[in-house]
Homo-oligomer: A and B are copies of this chain.
Amino acid sequence: MFDATIKAETLKDVVTVVSTLVDEVKFNISKKGITLKAVDPAHVAMVNLQLHSDAFESLKATECELGIDIDKIKDVLKLAHTDDLVTLHHDEERNRLVVGIGNVTRRMSLVDTTGMSDPQVPNLALPAHVTLAAADLNRGIRASESVSDHIVLVGGTDHFELSSEGDTDSVDLRLEKDQLVEIDCKEPVRSLFSLDYFANMIKSIGAAETVSIHLGTNFPVMIRFSIAGGKGEVTYLLAPRIEND
């Protein structure tokens, strides 16, 4: 059973985060809320999202799995205004999700979840940790986009840096300790990533939010932030690229 009412805005947050990596996803539903894990088709990145029961206006659910086509949810959400509520109902007989916004009802077929794995979240010991404004990251990303397809994240003991090296030009954004919310970095760390993946992940975060970055040297980066006003959490993992020089 799944019968829920949720703010359109909250559902939009979920959809934005997930669509960064996949088109279809399995919602693991229980009375505690929704959890979902997904790996992108190239196996470079992973998302792990929890939406707690108090992120819903109402939630009646027994444990179940729903295979969701993210684009269809996006389509329906375009009809919603900021304060609209969305009702979600699992029609078990026909295996459809019935989505209601105001006077509009959309009945959508579910995706078969048989082939969808439950990816294991790897246990990583990442030595450095920095918390900062998502807006600052976005500025560094925009600066990098005209120079290279890659971005280097560097943690120092008292600063954090994003930099990109192109054939002729280079760019970097350097944030000192007092421009960061928090930094805990005993020794310098440095890893290179696909700018495209990193940019899409960071852009899915609301501009006003802070984000927590866990980093090592030639290690995956772990990106953490809240959604739904703190009633949900997102963790992205992104594999590093090997630096040539």
Q: A interface vs B, CB < 8 Å?
A: 72, 75-76, 78-79, 102-109, 136, 139-140, 142-143, 146-147, 168-175, 179
- Also in contact, A142 and B79, with CB within 8 A (given A72-B169, A169-B72): yes
Instruction: List the B residue with the shortest CB-CB distance to A163.
Output: B105
In contact, A143 and B104 (Cβ under 8 angstroms): yes
Contacts of A168 in B (CB 8 A): 108-109
Q: Distance in Å from the Cβ of A177 to the closest Cβ of chain B? A: 13
Contacts of A106 in B (CB 8 A): 143, 147, 169-171
Report the Cα distance A72→B146, complex, angstroms. Answer: 8
Most buried by B among A78, A103, A105, A142: A103
In contact, A140 and B104 (Cβ under 8 angstroms): yes
Q: Distance in Å from the Cβ of A184 to the closest Cβ of chain B? A: 20
- Also in contact, A171 and B103, with CB within 8 A (given A76-B143, A79-B139, A143-B79): no
User: Which residue of the partner chain, among B78, B103, B105, B169, contacts A136 with CB atoms under 8 Å?
Assistant: B103
Contacts of A179 in B (CB 8 A): 103
Report the Cα distance A170→B106, complex, angstroms. Answer: 6
User: Which residue of the partner chain, among B102, B108, B140, B169, contacts A107 with CB atoms under 8 Å?
Assistant: B169
In contact, B140 and A75 (Cβ under 8 angstroms): no
29 A-B contacts (beta carbon < 8 Å) = A72-B146, A72-B169, A75-B146, A79-B139, A79-B142, A79-B143, A102-B139, A103-B136, A103-B173, A103-B175, A104-B139, A104-B140, A104-B143, A104-B171, A104-B172, A104-B173, A105-B173, A105-B174, A106-B143, A106-B147, A106-B169, A106-B170, A107-B169, A107-B170, A107-B171, A108-B168, A108-B169, A109-B168, A109-B169
Contacts of A76 in B (CB 8 A): 143
In contact, A105 and B172 (Cβ under 8 angstroms): yes
Instruction: List the B residue with the shortest CB-CB distance to A96.
Output: B169
Instruction: List the B residue with the shortest CB-CB distance to A176.
Output: B103
Contacts of A146 in B (CB 8 A): 72, 75
